[in-house]
Amino acid sequence: MFALLFSTVSHGSDDIEISGLVIDRTLTRFGKDFAFYYSGYWRDLTFTQGANVLLTETVFPQAGTKLTVEINGTLIYVTHFGRRGGPIKERAEEAVLRTVDYLAQLQAEAITGELAERSR
């Protein structure tokens, strides 16, 4: 399951750029619930152009699951759910806060780089 939330089509070349995706590679009920909450918060963010999110879940029998959040291939969040679950909504909120921090950092670096080039 994945959600297409924002897409950009580049008309100047043959390349098509799609961004703003949340790709759900979760397996369990806990992972699906996490993905549901996370993607709900993701839809509310306004500055997701150029960012694709990958939610991946690894199941460890008898121990629970490990869930990771990556943005454009960079790992930004890891959490674990035991066999009985946990505070899923709160962990999704925490992951979104880390996402916002990461995206803000990328934007700040881009602005800083532009300013440095202008001052040359």
pLDDT of residue 6: 45
pLDDT of residue 27: 92
Calpha distance 2→75 (Å, rounded): 19
Calpha distance 20→6 (Å, rounded): 5
Calpha distance 24→31 (Å, rounded): 9
Give the helix ranges, DSSP H, for the chain: 29-44, 88-118
Decide which of 120 and 35 is more confident: 35
Average pLDDT over residues 27-32: 91
The total of structural domains in the chain comes to 1
First-to-last C-alpha distance (Å) of the chain: 47
The pair of three-digit structure tokens given for residue 67, joined into one six-digit string: 């869930």
pLDDT of residue 107: 85
Contacts of 16 (CB under 8 A, 6+ apart): 9, 10
pLDDT of residue 4: 46
pLDDT of residue 115: 59
Calpha distance 13→69 (Å, rounded): 31
User: What's the pTM?
Assistant: 0.76
Q: Pairing between strand 21-25 and 53-60?
A: parallel
Domain of residue 62, residue span: 2-118
pLDDT of residue 78: 96
